[in-house]
Structure 1
């Protein structure tokens, strides 16, 4: 399901129109009378202004629906665009043959599986265009198909490739197999450059962009619009869309909470909502990690653990545009993988001539909460360890029960089996203790600020919750004298920055011991601010 171009949407209750959850085609949405967000102007603009395009967006973000909209437009199905921007902006007198290839369905676990998928898709296309193939290999059949449909129609062909990279990502945990699959696809896609004279328009979509020296070798004529501000909202819903198109769905739901939980994805332009999560919110009326639950990022969690990622840093990664733009099977920067897959998005931009640095963040509360829950399961070595403590943590914070908090924090670490420590190098990493501590708060979806700057230094962690301010400082006693954590908060005057809020400020010094693998110090002072 998705969002994009002239799309979708919503409702759950009769007599309003039902939500098109699971619908993949533009024609179904229009013909069945669903609500829609009209983005057909993007389709017209791309078709009129260029020829070869590439777009990366996370899964379930509307890429398939956008391609289907392009297909209907190029095939000349004018009736579907009645009342949309494209109706009076497109030349409907011309119809173009469209070849659409998709790897979105199922998991292709080997080169043989990929070969079978290509054979099946090419066979169906050949049959639909009345072509009897003369060549046995996929590359030759693809090129023959392009030439045949263009000649037969008297118009150059349109090629749309959906989830072009999914066969590789399906086996990214097995680099040797992923590399073999990549080479097959590289050969297959090279047909596009060889067939230029027979092509009107080509659009490739996927989650990730692999480097030009690998999968994109020879396809240097593609325009990557992933980080083009003009196309930041080509997939997804804007705040304006939610307030207008989805207005009938809003009663009974906290509008600001909707924004906090599902908005925030950004590609150098306006921020957007993930359509899948938003539609399921409107359907279920429950604030849950709807998008995240459709695909737990097992490989990503393993990669973060292998690289001993300090989890608080995930909210403040700074990366160059080039680093985020591509990666390869045997060279996967964490920043690029998390950004392209939708677990991080753009927060701030720094630019100079020829240079651009991007600061990343979690897109919203859905991703922050669900990802940190998964990280906790990895950091603590068990599925049940985090869950039994999270609700308790929330209630204790509400009650400002610091004795209970100390007991609970101690239980966090005591519940981690000794066997897990022996098997995981991460437990020797100094930031491990703070990573677990941070991820518990992040998993609750709380407002957390890390290393907040003051004129005296940086506060390790600030939590703003229930009209209270909680300031945390972390120390390891083997490296710092006991009692220094709380004293630093006081000596540095960290609370001064928050006094203007007029809310109680809790100063909390937390001290860990590598020897006992637990908290050995937990001191609290509360300032009542008038």
Structure 2
């Protein structure tokens, strides 16, 4: 099989298909989705392929058959029908005010009006959007397809400013309620984002089918083991296949486990194991909450939570379990079926997330990001050598290096778990990797 180009950062289905990039076929799942319902919601962590899937839906509904040659949808789709597609995205830029959001919405609605050769008839966003759907449906003779990408990003951009976040939430709520009000003229609607806000956000759109935790669509975004072994087979020589699994596999939403596509593609390009996904966005807000709420961090990799809690996310009410799960720092490990509910056990998805998150937390607990570095390198050498006296001296030196003023001024230092958390983080940075033979086994005994 010849090597192809790696679609790093490409979210355009046509570009991937026309320029000979690798493509993992999700079109069969897209057809299943469309045949099974008409309005959906999907939450996935950042850089997981949500935008590409939306663009795939767009090309499918617009009837661009040539792009689907050889794919699952080619023989399953009715190519005689074409639908007008309206796509709204909040992926670009940062919303810093209500005016920013309103300007973005007016610009996107104006672009859609130009696309369909129409003029704006109402000044307010909701009426303008509703009228646009109606007029496009009447003119084309087909009901409209509405695709919304990063539906929640404007809220997340200002999540630390509660008053502003609430204003933005209400504006978006009014926008999304138009989709329900226009149901007679909407053939299909699909909203994606990182977080799933509570039903307050969707009170105007309560007929969405949430496929976030659904075994039928667990691999709708991301690469499966089989995808890596087949589609990307030309890229595998020279790389340790089991290490690829340990570093990047493990995300689970009740279906088959998947890899983050961004990690896999960067690995194939650079031929080096690194926390590529983690490095694209430091979880500052998450770390801040963990510190404020005095979370006993050794428990992060074995959290139990009901399904309802994982969907409880709103401005001013953000459970850590929901935040960790929705943003991709924890994933489903086990499911227990209780009467009328599901109980989940969450875990770190893979080595990348476990090691990187613990390193960031260690820097925060230390009070100075520069403190852990020299100690981490020394810890690695001592673990390899099995030097327990050296380990004892290292931990004494590390605790002594934490500024006394930081400990006394921080509420985290008021409980014993603070010190246990620091000890745990030091170990987790390297012990997950010590599964080999010889002296490397010392890491497992050390824990």
Tell me the equivalent position of 2:374. Answer: 388
Q: Highest Rg: 1 or 2?
A: 1
TM-score, structure 1 normalization: 0.82
- Residues 378-527 of structure 1: pairs in structure 2 closer than 5 A: 378-444=364-430, 446=432, 466-468=440-442, 470-471=444-445
Residues 366, 445 of structure 1: 8 Å contact kept: no
Local SS of the residue matching 1:204? strand
CA distance in 1 between counterparts of 2:426 and 2:389 reads 18
Q: Distance in 2 between matches of 1:197 and 1:378?
A: 52
What is residue 181 of structure 1 aligned with on the other side?
168
Equivalenced residues, count:
445
Counterpart in 2 of 1:109?
A: 96
- Please tell me whether the aligned partners of residues 386 and 442 of structure 2 are also in contact (alpha carbons under 8 angstroms): no
Cα deviation for residue 443 of structure 1 reads 2.2
What's the CA shift string for 1:451-471, capped at 9, x where partnerless? xxxxxxxxxxxxx97233655
Give CA deviations for 1:282-317 in whole Å, capped at 9, x if unaligned: 111111110011111100000000000111000110
Structure 1 residue runs of 5 or longer lacking an equivalent are: 1-10, 450-463, 474-530
1:47 deviation in Å?
1.2
| Higher strand residue share | 1
Structure 1 residue 379 displacement after superposition: 0.5
The answer for unaligned runs of 5 or more in structure 2 is none
- Matching of residues 129-528 of structure 1 within 5 Å: 129-212=116-199, 214-444=200-430, 446=432, 466-468=440-442, 470-471=444-445
- 8 Å contact from structure 1 (residues 442, 448) kept in 2: no
Residue 39 of structure 1, CA deviation: 1.2
Moved over 4 A (4+): 469-473
CA contact (8 A) 1:276 1:290 kept: yes
Structure (1/2) with the larger helix percentage: 2
Alpha-carbon distance between aligned partners in 2 of 1:278 and 1:86, rounded to the nearest angstrom: 25
Q: 1: CA distance between counterparts of 2:275 and 2:233?
A: 22
Identify the match of residue 83 of structure 1 among 66, 70, 73: 70
With a CA cutoff of 8 Å and minimum separation of 6, indicate the structure with the bigger relative contact order: 2
Q: Does structure 2 retain, via aligned residues, the 8 Å contact 1:368–1:442?
A: yes
Equivalent-residue separation in structure 2 for 1:215 and 1:233 (angstroms): 26
2:418 and 2:434 mapped to 1: Cα distance? Answer: 18
Q: CA deviation at 1:96?
A: 0.1
Rounded to whole Å, the distance in 1 between the matches of 2:382 and 2:82 is: 65
Equivalent positions of 1:13-92 (< 5 A) are 16-92=3-79
What TM-score do you get using the length of structure 2 for normalisation?
0.97
**Quick one: distance in 2 between partners of 1:65 and 1:448?**
37
